[in-house]
Amino acid sequence: MTFPIDRALSILRREARHWKVPAVGAVAGKPFAVLVSTLISLRTKDAVTFPATARLLALADTPQTLAALDVRAIEKAIYPASFFRVKARTLKNAARDLLERFDGRVPDDVETLCTLKGVGRKTANLVVTLGWNKPGICVDTHVHRISNIWDYVRTQTPDDTERALRRKLPARHWMTYNDLLVAFGQNLCVPVSPLCSRCALADLCPRRGVKRSR
């Protein structure tokens, strides 16, 4: 039986009103801010990402001002984000790359964004969808994991999941799929022992690969 994706996402949209918005969503509509926030967010909880992003953007909200900052100032602004020293260098290098190759403009397509130093497909898709309001499918660990739990795809890596979703997921869902599944994954369908007893999708979900739940 094919997973009823339209019905499931309709239910999640209704439920999402009660959940916290992922940190990157707070800067939607601002491509450079989305890029900065996404680079900070890698392997970092939203409770850390949101204030770290705000602190850095208060110091530098353009590629020009970020490229001019000392790496230690960037480190201080984004601490305690995980790997903050590495991320500080990545942020500064990305800003320089934007200035040198794109006149300070953040590209609006995934393939070009992936040529920036430190930018992978997850970050690129988020910038395209949240920053530029253009179609894309961002796949992080939540999207990859939940899409497989639903048995909507059967994939081994997030990149495989992105390719599978581009083939299968109706285009009308592309831009909201990440936000819904990330919020769902942070609030209910958590990685360890998901809260299936409280989930509005319990009757629809095949729970593929779920060995323990609450």
Q: Is the pLDDT assigned to residue 112 strictly greater than 70?
A: yes
Asked if the 5-20+137-198 domain carries CATH number 1.10.1670.10, the reply is: yes
- Please give the pLDDT value at position 119: 94
Neighbours of 6 (CB within 10 A): 11
Q: The whole model's pTM is what?
A: 0.83
- Please give the pLDDT value at position 46: 84
CATH of 30-131, one of 1.20.1440.230, 1.10.340.30, 1.10.238.10, 2.10.77.10: 1.10.340.30
Average pLDDT, the chain: 94
Q: Among 126, 74, 63, which Cα is nearest to 96's?
A: 63
Q: Is the pLDDT assigned to residue 25 strictly greater than 70?
A: no
- Please give the pLDDT value at position 179: 87
To 10 degrees, what angle do helices 46-59 and 31-41 make?
Answer: 130
Tell me the pLDDT tens digit for each residue of 65-83.
999 999 999 999 999 999 9
Q: Is the pLDDT assigned to residue 22 strictly greater than 70?
A: no
CA 47, CA 68: separation in Å to the nearest integer?
27
Q: Among 23, 103, 7, which Cα is nearest to 95's?
A: 103
